[in-house]
Amino acid sequence: MPVLRRANSAERWRWALAGSALLVLLFASSCASRWVAVAPSLPEEYERLGPVSSQACGDLYLFTTPTQFIPHGWNERLEAAYAEAVASVPGATALADVSYRERWYWWVLASRRCVLLSGEAIR
């Protein structure tokens, strides 16, 4: 029969440190996205169709800001705002003079970031 013994404080400290390191690694690697070009290169000649703007939002869920790691619409928000802005003007194929703004909200169990794009629709 094995002999049970109490862990000394050094062993408890090592286990707590190892557990903390594991949690930090888990949270640090939970979300990642790829680089996104906001607007493609403009052609040599194009026609300006007028100003446009668009907004798209994404959420991070789970309790407070340091522990939020469940994304919903987080990585797609820039592409969604760009596509919506281009689609809002008939015949537009791209945007020129693009500006990017971001708004951030926190609510009880999540945070929300909204991308606001504005620019000139071109064809």
**pLDDT number for residue 92:** 95
Q: What secondary structure letter does DSSP report for 42?
A: P
Q: Does residue 106 surpass a pLDDT of 60? A: yes
The gap from C-alpha 40 to its chain's centroid, in whole angstroms, comes to 20
**pTM of this structure:** 0.66
pLDDT in tens, 13-26: 888 888 888 877 77
- CA proximity to 92, closest of 36, 38, 41, 52: 52
pLDDT in tens, 86-95: 999 999 999 9
Burial of residue 95 (number of CB atoms within 10 Å: 0-12, 13-18, 19+): buried
Sign of CA dihedral 67, 69, 71, 75: positive
Compute the average pLDDT of residues 102-118.
Answer: 87
The H or E element containing residue 17 is helix 9-28
